[in-house]
């Protein structure tokens, strides 16, 4: 049964080729579970119940308990909806040697070689001219092999076997999609035709490419799940699943259960929809005011002091072919359960208090857990945990699940880990 959670997660990931689609799919699942969508521009009056809001590629969902009162704490799980990929430039139409191509900019720390020789689709958001003279947004998703980035044949790069594959983002990563002379409105015209728009209606876009290979179980005993965007739709999905479990249970809770799925983590979170924005702090403050009736800053700060955040992002499993790249006394295994991530230089926000808090949640859920640190002589990554902790002063723990091929167009994790993480997150929220 534990692999069923992985299969459900695969469905979520395949429905979410862009952050905007990840939010749409999460919103559809929330509505199906009787969560009520609220708008940031409206006045909030929140009785006990289940709510969510969307802002671009970000989403916040929460459960207000029946006994919510001034000073009530929040249990929040943070994750992110974006993944490294190739994004279409504003002046998209380019090409050479009789091949029409699209100009791209690399988003985040993508493993460039993983995008070569794959059938690629297009997805994202487009802003179009509205009939009243204003503008409106549309999402689009074309799951068909429209694009491909061909690798140079080995006959023309004999040094690849000794020097390795060297790719220049500007020169080598533009995908091809047609033959013939370059067209002035090639990409714009394509969008207009596919979306049923008039010529000149397309005003701008957030467009990106995605691999078309579906997510699937892998290995002799189906121990693995191979999928795109595991970093970090894995955590977005398990946070969502845990919130549903808490909502479905009859056990009374005396805290607000919340998940926050942010965009733009892969490029530093510095945006109106990123973890460095006021989104989470604003939502928490407004929820507390609307649910308790107290506008006191004293009560708001009391609530923050009683709150704790779980920042959920993926972790590096020990690579069987590169064991020397890992801390020798902190090996991580797939299907070994959630990973508590620790860094003495605070690239992760975990401290001993938050570490034990999540550890005890795993123990209550009867879930194994692992602890991870980076090799001291290698640079350590970071995620939204330290940002949230510093902006709000909330005790924070950074966790994840072990995976391989992080930042590849196609990644791999253990097929039992999604269910293990879901169960641990349920206990964290309780």
Express each pLDDT in 212-265 by its tens digit. Answer: 999 999 999 999 999 999 999 999 999 999 999 999 987 778 899 999 999 999
In angstroms, how far is CA 116 from the centroid of its own chain? 23
User: How many CB atoms are located within 10 Å of the residue 128 CB?
Assistant: 19
Mean pLDDT of all residues in the chain? 95
Q: 10-residue block means of pLDDT along the chain (430 residues)?
A: 91 98 98 97 94 98 93 97 98 94 98 98 96 91 98 93 93 96 87 92 96 97 98 98 93 90 97 96 96 94 96 97 91 96 94 97 97 89 91 96 98 98 96
Please tell me the predicted confidence (pLDDT) of residue 263. Answer: 98
Sheet holding 120-129, edge to edge: 135-147, 120-129, 202-211, 85-96, 99-107, 176-179
pTM of the predicted model over 0.75: yes
Please tell me the predicted confidence (pLDDT) of residue 256. Answer: 96
Residues present in the chain in total = 430
Please tell me the predicted confidence (pLDDT) of residue 1. Answer: 54
Domain 2-83+228-429 = CATH 3.40.50.720: no
Domain 85-211 = CATH 2.40.110.10: no
User: What is d(CA 206, CA 139) in angstroms, rounded to the nearest whole number?
Assistant: 9
Is residue 125 within 8 Å of 18, Cβ to Cβ?
yes
- Answer yes or no: same fold for 2-83+228-429 and 85-211: no
> What residue ranges do the domains of the chain occupy?
2-83+228-429, 85-211
Please tell me the predicted confidence (pLDDT) of residue 132. Answer: 83
Please tell me the predicted confidence (pLDDT) of residue 295. Answer: 93
Please tell me the predicted confidence (pLDDT) of residue 251. Answer: 75
Please tell me the predicted confidence (pLDDT) of residue 258. Answer: 98
């Amino acid at each position: 049964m534990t692999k069923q959670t992985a299969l459900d997660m695969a469905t979520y990931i395949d429905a979410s080729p862009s952050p905007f689609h990840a939010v749409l799919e999460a919103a559809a699942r929330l509505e199906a579970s009787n969560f009520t969508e609220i708008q940031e521009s409206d006045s909030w009056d929140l009785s006990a119940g289940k709510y969510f809001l969307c802002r671009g590629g970000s989403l916040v969902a929460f459960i207000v308990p029946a006994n919510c009162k001034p000073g009530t704490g929040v249990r929040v799980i943070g994750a992110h909806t974006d993944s490294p990929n190739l994004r279409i430039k504003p002046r998209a139409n380019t090409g050479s040697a009789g091949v029409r191509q699209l100009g791209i900019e690399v988003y985040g720390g993508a493993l460039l070689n993983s995008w070569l020789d794959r059938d690629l689709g297009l997805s994202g958001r487009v802003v179009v001219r509205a009939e009243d003279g204003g503008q409106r947004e549309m999402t689009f998703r074309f799951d068909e092999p429209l694009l491909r980035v061909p690798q140079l044949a080995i006959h023309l790069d004999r040094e690849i076997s000794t020097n390795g594959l060297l790719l220049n983002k500007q020169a080598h990563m533009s995908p091809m999609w047609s033959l013939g002379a370059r067209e002035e409105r090639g990409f714009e015209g394509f969008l207009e035709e596919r979306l049923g728009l008039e010529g000149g209606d397309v005003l701008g876009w957030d467009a990106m490419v995605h691999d078309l290979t579906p997510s699937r179980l892998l290995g002799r005993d189906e121990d693995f799940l191979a999928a795109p965007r595991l970093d970090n739709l894995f955590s977005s999905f398990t946070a969502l699943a845990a919130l549903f479990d808490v909502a479905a249970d009859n056990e009374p809770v005396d805290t607000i259960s919340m998940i926050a799925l942010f965009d733009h983590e892969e490029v530093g979170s510095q945006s109106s929809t990123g973890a460095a924005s006021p989104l989470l702090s604003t939502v928490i403050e407004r929820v507390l005011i609307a649910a308790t009736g107290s506008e006191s800053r004293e009560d708001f700060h009391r609530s923050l002091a009683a709150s704790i955040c779980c920042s959920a992002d993926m972790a590096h499993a020990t690579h069987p072919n590169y064991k020397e790249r890992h801390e020798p006394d902190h090996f991580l295994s797939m299907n070994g359960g959630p990973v508590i991530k620790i860094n003495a230089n605070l690239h992760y926000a975990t401290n001993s208090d938050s570490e034990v808090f999540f550890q005890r949640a795993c123990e209550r859920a009867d879930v194994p857990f692992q602890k991870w640190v980076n090799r001291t002589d290698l640079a350590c990554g970071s995620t939204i945990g330290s940002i949230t902790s510093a902006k709000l002063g909330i005790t924070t723990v950074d966790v994840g699940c072990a995976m391989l091929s992080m930042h590849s167009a196609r990644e791999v994790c253990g097929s039992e880990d999604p269910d293990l993480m879901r169960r641990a997150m349920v206990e964290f929220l309780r």
